[in-house]
Structure 1
Amino acid sequence: MEFFTRLEAEALKFFNLPQSDKDKAGPPDPFGYGFKKIGSNGDVGWVEYLLLNTNPQITSLKSLTVFRETPEIFRSTVNDYIQAVKRMTFEVVELMADGLKIEPRDALSRLLRDEKSDSCFRLNHYPPCPELQALGGRNLIGFGEHTDPQIISVLRSNNTSGLQICLRDKTWVSVPPDQTSFFINVGDALQVMTNGRLRSVRHRVLAESMRSRVSMIYFGGPPLSEKIAPLASLMAKGEESLYEEFTWWEYKTSAYKSRLGDYRLGLFEKKTGGAAGQ
């Protein structure tokens, strides 16, 4: 908890800077600082964020020179957190492989451990919006509904509500905040790799009227050239793939051309395979 508290404090130092200072770390292309605008296709939200590449060959962390007094504290704190959450994520996906009887056991974790893994880290800040109280309980979208395209997402937030998930009957349910826990989201790529046994979760974030929400998410993705298809060791005899094979680069390119709320996997479902949409 002491480590988490330090990271939150350093993140808030950044998000509480004057807007002109924060803008020096952006605009995101795709990495850097962003405010309200989410992607390049018209999606907006009540959010500001920092998006960083976690590949050690990429120097996005080094580019955050906006911190004038203690830049190394922030950079080292973020780096320490990324390395720790990576190790935990490797263990989590190996436990998932055990449960699904996937062989080899590292079929998923090797993709995240790869030096060319296309993984990233996001710090989100949802400022309080006092005007909400005057809107008669109406919702303000902090981050619109979507599924995560990668293999897996590991999220942690402060003790402020806002996260919601969509159930099969299209009902939105609030996830109680718990700053001592990690929330694991299955991504689109893992849905394909398990041939629909695990489903990517559609989720969104609502803004609060009086409290700010800070969340930190590690998105574990495979190398860009990795072919995404159901894992052979998981498929039952005679079972057909519900999806066309594609590379992660192909899917990522397609996903980032879409709007947040689009059903991105629909373009890659086999038309005769009976894949269930979301």
Structure 2
Amino acid sequence: MHGRDATEEYGEEVVKLCRRVSKVLSKGLGLDGGRLQAAFGGEGGEGACMRVNFYPRCPQPELTLGVAAHSDPGGMTMLLVDDHVRGLQVRKDGQWITVDPVPDAFIVNVGDQIQVLSNAAYKSVEHRVTVSAAEERLSLAFFYNPRSDVPVAPMAELVAPGRPALYPEMTFDEYRAHIRQRGLSGKAQLQSLQNANNSVAS
């Protein structure tokens, strides 16, 4: 099998996996299994792309990061990493926790669009990547996103009196433009939308 064919087959299989995970997430919200995928644009309407990340050895790793702290702007990320090199860290309760790779397993990161659609029932994962003085690191990040022009807002079933919509409606394209203006800054981009929406509501 040629590299291009293998890449295409990998992408098709990971999209199927993302659809399965989105069904589980939908049911976890008490909704129909296809609800999140429908909000992404329906089967075949979602967006997907893959990025290969290579982190070379760094003689002074304490002076830099491979990737600065951020949450993924899209729906979810399927991350396949070297099973013997640590580097991914997630923020929990204000502390950075290093994720131990599990052989033959994906790391699934919830992204900002699922936080918006779930009205913050699911939180996107703030994470960063450290580098190593001793080892190179390779990862495959597969991003599963809403279609770029589909309006995304908290799903109506999750909004009620006493539980207002925390985020304004915007397309994924509009959200990416919002992020480009601000740069990587933890979860500040999403927080700014929540603050703005609370101001409008009050």
State the TM bucket, normalised to the shorter chain: 0.7 to 0.9
2:47 aligned residue = 118
If the length of structure 1 is used for normalisation, what is the TM-score? Answer: 0.65
Residue of structure 2 aligned with 1:235, choices 159, 169, 188:
159
Over 6 Å off, 4+ runs: none
Residue of structure 2 aligned with 1:222, choices 146, 149, 156:
146
Structure 1: unaligned runs, 5 residues or longer: 1-71
Give, as a single letter, the amino acid of the residue that structure 2 aligns with 1:162.
G
Distance 2:15 2:113 in 1: 18
1:27 aligned residue = none
1:142 aligned residue = 66
1:73 aligned residue = 2
Distance 1:227 1:186 in 2: 19
CA gap 1:190/1:138 in 2 versus in 1, 3 angstroms: same
SS at 1:89's partner residue?
Answer: helix
Q: What is the number of residues matched between the two proteins?
A: 196
CA gap 1:113/1:179 in 2 versus in 1, 3 angstroms: farther
Distance 1:118 1:253 in 2: 16
Task: For residue 151 of structure 1, report the CA deviation from its aligned partner.
Answer: 1.0
Contact 1:244–1:270 (CA under 8 A) maintained in structure 2: no
Contact 2:48–2:143 (CA under 8 A) maintained in structure 1: yes
Distance 1:149 1:203 in 2: 12
Distance 2:168 2:147 in 1: 18
Distance 1:138 1:188 in 2: 28
Larger relative contact order (C-alpha < 8 A, sep ≥ 6)? 2
1:220-243: per-residue Cα shift (whole Å, max 9, x none)?
111122111111223345421111
Give RMSD over aligned pairs: 2.0
1:50 aligned residue = none
Distance 1:146 1:214 in 2: 19
Give, as a single letter, the amino acid of the residue that structure 2 aligns with 1:165.
V
Distance 2:99 2:139 in 1: 14
Distance 1:118 1:259 in 2: 22
- Between structure 1 and structure 2, the one with the greater Rg is 1
Task: For residue 116 of structure 1, report the CA deviation from its aligned partner.
Answer: 4.4
Q: How much identity, in percent, do the aligned residues show?
A: 28
Task: For residue 271 of structure 1, report the CA deviation from its aligned partner.
Answer: 4.0
Structure 2: unaligned runs, 5 residues or longer: none
Distance 2:171 2:197 in 1: 21
If the length of structure 2 is used for normalisation, what is the TM-score? Answer: 0.88
Q: Which deviates further from its counterpart, 107-116 or 244-253?
A: 107-116
Task: For residue 114 of structure 1, report the CA deviation from its aligned partner.
Answer: 4.5
Distance 2:52 2:169 in 1: 32
1:243-273: per-residue Cα shift (whole Å, max 9, x none)?
1111222111111232112511133225473
